[in-house]
Chains A and B, each alone.
Chain A
Amino acid sequence: MIAVKEPQITDYKALSSLQLEELLCVELDHDDPAVALAILEELELREAAPVSCDRAWEEFCTHYLPMEAPLYGDAPPARKPVRPFSRRFAAAAAAACLACVLAVQAGGADLLRSMIRWTGTALIVESPSATESSLLPEAVDQDAAALAAASSPTPGVGEDAFVTVEPTVTECASLGDAFALIGLEHVPTAIPAGYTFASAAVEELLTTRMLHAIYTGPEEALLQINIHRYEEGSVFSSVIPKDDAEVESLSLRGQTFYFLTNGIYEGVVWTPDPLTECHISGPVTRDALKTLVRSMYD
């Protein structure tokens, strides 16, 4: 084992590349990046065949960077710029805007809460801040958000020690218990005929709480209820696959529910607040799903 001292270029030059790589492995558990950087600079000088950065950057842009257009299908229709109305038409314009917000639109959006929009192949739920920056087409979920929170150094502190991220999972005896645990009212009670409660659990990570509930039905069909609740300031974007059938909306007690189809599966999506997304799906009928959501307010 080579003792790690203050970075001195002459020391590293005297070591072989293999020894320097061993040092890097040792450095993995240390908080100071200065030593690792000094070693890496020496190794970089010795590198006979540098890695192609152009190819790597191109791949990063393709597979990791957020995309300007939606990940699936055609881009939603661009929102037309708001034209100023004279006072004479102000009341009519306000009423028309409110009607547009609540009505079903092709590629429309729930403008009052989180952004819900859809294309021919996906329904996308985004936090309000995500709609401004369109960070990622996929949800910044436990993998990315927790990894980012745990992995990046705390500002002002410098290089933090590694933080272990493990979800806290609580199994619940009923859907009602799971809703209570995640802090939501209005539990759906009219479960489609033939389906029985199988499991419900709430997982908590650094910035997200998730509810997963399953009901099993005929021929092992699954009705799944998934809810994500994010912390204030979180940026998220979820993509739910769908087919090209029209998205239907239903307003109940001020809450809009969006019904979509994906082959034999019917689904419903809603956002009770800007940081919560809810999704129920299964091989059931649209009417059965509507009865289910209506039962939330019975």
Chain B
Amino acid sequence: MSDAELKFLEELYRTHYQKLFLYANAVVKHREVAEEAVQDTFHIACLKIAQLRASPNSAGWLVQTLKNVLRNMERTRSSLYSSLQRDLPYEERYVGSRRDEENISLLYGDTLTEEELSLLQRIAVEGCTYLEASRELGISAEACRKRMQRIRDKLRKNLTH
């Protein structure tokens, strides 16, 4: 991004962050998730900066993008947790114990590394956001997302063969 684009983005960010946060928080009712949704929205704004600059209604553009992010986010998180539950081979000795179903190190320890298990636990089971996880790990949110995608690929491949 050029300096001019960065300056444009920062101005928009400071002008609209509060509004977008209020919207996200009203929908997800979770401060950390709301923050992540807003950051994701501005992340998309970075990727589409030329389009955003050309838009006659940049505030409207941001709001619509946030709406899409919120819907996508909810579906992704639900899907991730559902697929963990659905694809889980049901171990007899854990029947009746939901807590044991969530002991993913016991269940996926042969498939995932310690680092991957830890990330999966934080995001899929404990409901941590990518932003929170990226802070903990000291990596970008995008790196966090990619790691989760690789974990999902691994689980899908290993549990269906």
Contacts and interface: CB of A to CB of B under 8 A. Distances in A.
B86 interface: no
Interface residues of A, number: 59
B19 A41 contact: yes
B64 to A, nearest CB: 4
B145 interface: yes
Contact of B67 (A28, A56, A141): A28
A89 interface: no
B7 to A, nearest CB: 12
Interface string B68-80: 1111100000000
B83 to A, nearest CB: 13
A193 to B, nearest CB: 22
Interface residues of B, number: 53
Contacts of B72: 147, 150-151, 165
A143 B140 contact: no
Contacts of B67: 27-28, 33, 36, 162
B14 A57 contact: yes
A76 interface: no
Nearest to A43: B22
A250 interface: no
Contacts of A37: 19, 59-60, 63
B39 interface: yes
Interface stretch (A60-68, A104-112, A280-288): A60-68
Contacts of A53: 13-14, 17-18
Given A64-B43, A152-B61, A199-B157, A40 B23 contact: yes
B46 interface: yes
A115 interface: no
